[in-house]
A and B are shown apart, each in its own frame.
Chain A
Amino acid sequence: MSAVEIKNIVKKYSTKKTSVTAVDNISFTAERGELFGLIGPDGAGKSTIFRILTTLLLPDSGSAALLDYDIIKDWKEIRNIVGYMPGRFSLYKDLTVEENLEFFATVFNTTIKENYELIEEIYKQLEPFKNRRAGKLSGGMKQKLALCCALIHKPKILFLDEPTTGVDPVSRKEFWEILKRLKTRGISILVSTPYMDEAKLCDRIALIQKGKILEINPPKNIISKFERNLFAVHSPEMFKLLMDLRSYSKTETCFAFGENHHLVVNDSSISAVDVKKYLESAGHPKATVSNIEPTIEDCFMHLMSK
């Protein structure tokens, strides 16, 4: 019995003129107690998958089950076992922190007391503001409150849709530590994020692009499967550098990555020295080239351009 099992799910959004396939024949399985990440850019279909799994949307075709409960047939049971934290803050802004939590506890037919130990660690940070209205909390605090509300009924599976979008780096880090600890309590977690650096914190990730899964693997395996030489290239004239690198005969892909360009070559015998030689001949005497380890983002960009 897997926590999440999706088979050939398709969901199209159609208007009169156009039809967009948000989820295109996706299948994957997330095991119990796993922290599973859906990684992909905006519009990849992450939220749609979440909405289908939390019984908010019906798929056009395909089937899915959470702990063997079918999402269409057993939607009533599913609503008792999942916790869902939507991408957009959607608690009552005009209710206080405590009132929100109490409300969601009651709606799930439980009390704060009953499951307090599960949220204790997070709620302690919120406690000083418990009489503040939810709308007046900072971004990170809002997310923590939303997480508390999603956890208050002790769900077996937790769905977090972009929980760290718009949250500062410190709070983001904290948030992921909380998730790790929740995992140790046996809660299966499905999380989506557009941030590639968060991907390596998951047990397994699915890279998604335009409704299709590019790859599912533990982050380490995705990186080790990269198997290509990757170089970070820098020069005073970055734009011309990008153009020149892209017209280099050995280049497979080249993208701007912060202050460097990341270059993937199609020939494993090419070394940093070879690239530098080429660049000098192309009019970049000050170019620096260094061999680097790939990140998830490199893998994603590489898979995307395939």
Chain B
Amino acid sequence: MRALKFLLRKEFIQIFRNKLILRAILVVPVVQLIVLPLAVNYEMRNINLSVVDLDRSEYSRRLINKITSTGYFRLTDFSESYQKALNVVEQDKADIIITIPQGFEHELVRENKSKIMIEANAISGQTAGLAVAYSNSIIRDFNNDIRLEWIQQPRMNAQPVIEIVSSNWFNPKMNYKYFFVPGILALLVTIVGFLLASLNIVKEKEAGTIEQLNVTPIKKHQFILGKLIPFWILGLVILSIGFVVSYIVYGIIPVGGYLLIYLFAAIYLIALLGFGLLTSTFAETQQQAMFISYFCMMIFILLGGLFAPIENMPDWAQALTYINPVSYFIEVMRMIVLKGSGFFDLLKHFGIIVLFAISFNALAIWNYKKTT
């Protein structure tokens, strides 16, 4: 026990003495938590629009006005031919072309129907998709407008119409920050905990101090606990700092309370640190450890459900997320912060993360014994 106490003391002295790392641990998460949610905006604004109006009529002008007045589009080009508009797209000055054919108004009035062509630059798939969706709904609106002008609506609809009114549960204003900030926080805890733990053990290998320790009567489990506990505490400290920041900056208070989050995070960190330990048993140098961690983190984070919804992934990728501890943490964070889920709602998640914690640590200790 005395040895473990000293191992911990030593570890904390080293952490607090490394000023750069200490600052990085404490300041960087705060900055990221403030900057990232503000920068990453899932709404599209200022889509560059090129219009080819071959009709130049009252209606075409009204349509263009309607599109540009929404604020989603910015009219950057008004070409007289389709070819010229295409050039503008090629120069990357426009994201979408709306072509209004000659006789648009004529056909609309005479034949009650007309055509418009929308083309989006799909180099950025997300922009293209949103641009088309936005313009579709605007044009539908426009369509309704002119129908209203032309037809005297009967008292009752001739055909039954189902009106759809939607409401967003748990995040009524669809404030994406509420959903993004808990996710970012989960990532920060993950990165700091995992990276620091794996690098720290490899550092002992690099400096040769692990050999010096190996010839002492110190026990393996003391050494491992001495490594895991400091980063476990550090992870929880970062989580706390993160919650303070998200309360002050975004006014986020977990609906489901802090206790459950901390309980889950505590187990999650054990799993994560076990994984870090496992990494460190493979690596001989900090550079190797950095690389392994980096690639694992990449996969964990991109398949974690923060940037792309897991439901949108192909089946095989969804299967991968089942063995991704990060995706569980992000999900739990959202469930507790936004929805206020209770312990029994999260029973499955708790079970799985406990399993992760046991298996990662068991693997790490097994491999640690094998290699030394």
Which A residues lie at the B interface, using CB under 8 A?
A: 54-56, 76, 79-80, 82, 84, 86, 88-95, 99, 102-104, 106-109, 149
Q: State whether B3 touches A107 (Cβ < 8 A).
A: yes
Q: State whether B209 touches A109 (Cβ < 8 A).
A: no
Q: Which of B3, B207, B208 contacts A106 (CB 8 A)?
A: B3
Cα of A95 to Cα of B217 in the assembled complex, Å: 21
For A103, the chain B residues whose CB sits under 8 A away are 6, 10
Q: Which of A89, A99, A104, A106 contacts B13 (CB 8 A)?
A: A99
For B10, the chain A residues whose CB sits under 8 A away are 92, 95, 99, 103
For A84, the chain B residues whose CB sits under 8 A away are 212, 215
Counting CB contacts under 8 A, is B155 at the interface?
Answer: no
For A95, the chain B residues whose CB sits under 8 A away are 10, 13-14, 17
Q: Closest chain A residue to B208 by CB distance?
A: A90
Counting CB contacts under 8 A, is B2 at the interface?
Answer: yes
Known: A107-B3, A109-B217. A94 touches B212 (CB 8 A): no
Q: State whether B211 touches A94 (Cβ < 8 A).
A: no
Q: In B1-55, which residues have CB < 8 Å from any A CB?
A: 2-3, 6-7, 10, 13-14, 17-18
Cα of A93 to Cα of B206 in the assembled complex, Å: 12
B interface, how many residues as a size bin? 20 to 34
Q: State whether A94 touches B17 (Cβ < 8 A).
A: yes
Counting CB contacts under 8 A, is B213 at the interface?
Answer: yes
Counting CB contacts under 8 A, is B159 at the interface?
Answer: no
For A93, the chain B residues whose CB sits under 8 A away are 207
For B18, the chain A residues whose CB sits under 8 A away are 94
Query: Nearest 9 pairs between A and B by C-beta?
Result: A90-B208, A106-B6, A84-B215, A107-B216, A79-B217, A90-B212, A54-B215, A88-B208, A90-B209
Chain B interface main SS type: helix
Interface CB pairs A-B, < 8 A, 9:
A55-B215, A79-B217, A86-B212, A88-B208, A92-B14, A99-B10, A106-B2, A106-B6, A108-B216
Counting CB contacts under 8 A, is B214 at the interface?
Answer: yes
Q: How far is the CB of B204 from chain A (nearest CB, A)?
A: 9
Counting CB contacts under 8 A, is B109 at the interface?
Answer: no
Supply 14 further A-B pairs (C-beta < 8 A) apart from A90-B211, A107-B7, A107-B217: A55-B214, A55-B215, A79-B215, A86-B211, A86-B212, A88-B208, A90-B212, A95-B14, A99-B13, A102-B6, A103-B10, A106-B3, A107-B3, A107-B218
Q: State whether B207 touches A107 (Cβ < 8 A).
A: no
Known: A54-B215, A80-B217, A104-B216. A94 touches B209 (CB 8 A): no
Cα of A205 to Cα of B3 in the assembled complex, Å: 38
Cα of A100 to Cα of B216 in the assembled complex, Å: 14
Known: A99-B13, A107-B3. A91 touches B212 (CB 8 A): yes
For B218, the chain A residues whose CB sits under 8 A away are 107
Q: How far is the CB of B350 from chain A (nearest CB, A)?
A: 37
Q: Closest chain B residue to A103 by CB distance?
A: B10
Q: In B217-244, which residues have CB < 8 Å from any A CB?
A: 217-218
Cα of A102 to Cα of B3 in the assembled complex, Å: 11
Q: Closest chain B residue to A79 by CB distance?
A: B217
For B212, the chain A residues whose CB sits under 8 A away are 84, 86, 90-91, 104, 149
Q: State whether B217 touches A91 (Cβ < 8 A).
A: no
Q: How far is the CB of A120 from chain B (nearest CB, A)?
A: 22
Q: State whether A56 touches B17 (Cβ < 8 A).
A: no
Q: State whether B217 touches A108 (Cβ < 8 A).
A: yes
For A55, the chain B residues whose CB sits under 8 A away are 214-215
Q: How far is the CB of B3 from chain A (nearest CB, A)?
A: 6
Cα of A95 to Cα of B13 in the assembled complex, Å: 8
Cα of A93 to Cα of B17 in the assembled complex, Å: 11
Q: How far is the CB of A236 from chain B (nearest CB, A)?
A: 47
Q: State whether A109 touches B14 (Cβ < 8 A).
A: no
Q: Closest chain B residue to A76 by CB distance?
A: B217
Q: Closest chain B residue to A90 by CB distance?
A: B208
For B17, the chain A residues whose CB sits under 8 A away are 94-95
Cα of A79 to Cα of B219 in the assembled complex, Å: 11
Q: How far is the CB of A64 from chain B (nearest CB, A)?
A: 15
Q: Closest chain A residue to B216 by CB distance?
A: A107
Q: How far is the CB of A85 from chain B (nearest CB, A)?
A: 9
Q: State whether B6 touches A107 (Cβ < 8 A).
A: yes
Q: How far is the CB of B38 from chain A (nearest CB, A)?
A: 37
Q: State whether B211 touches A92 (Cβ < 8 A).
A: no
For B216, the chain A residues whose CB sits under 8 A away are 79, 104, 107-108
Q: Closest chain A residue to B14 by CB distance?
A: A94
For A108, the chain B residues whose CB sits under 8 A away are 216-217
Q: State whether A90 touches B207 (Cβ < 8 A).
A: yes
Interface centre among B13, B208, B214, B215 (most CB of A within 10 A): B215
Cα of A109 to Cα of B5 in the assembled complex, Å: 12
Cα of A84 to Cα of B212 in the assembled complex, Å: 7
Cα of A76 to Cα of B218 in the assembled complex, Å: 10
Cα of A106 to Cα of B6 in the assembled complex, Å: 7
Q: Closest chain B residue to A107 by CB distance?
A: B216
Cα of A82 to Cα of B216 in the assembled complex, Å: 9
Q: Closest chain A residue to B17 by CB distance?
A: A94
Known: A76-B217, A107-B216. A91 touches B209 (CB 8 A): yes
Q: Closest chain A residue to B206 by CB distance?
A: A90
Q: How far is the CB of B270 from chain A (nearest CB, A)?
A: 25
Known: A86-B208, A90-B208. A107 touches B213 (CB 8 A): yes
For B14, the chain A residues whose CB sits under 8 A away are 92, 94-95
For B13, the chain A residues whose CB sits under 8 A away are 94-95, 99
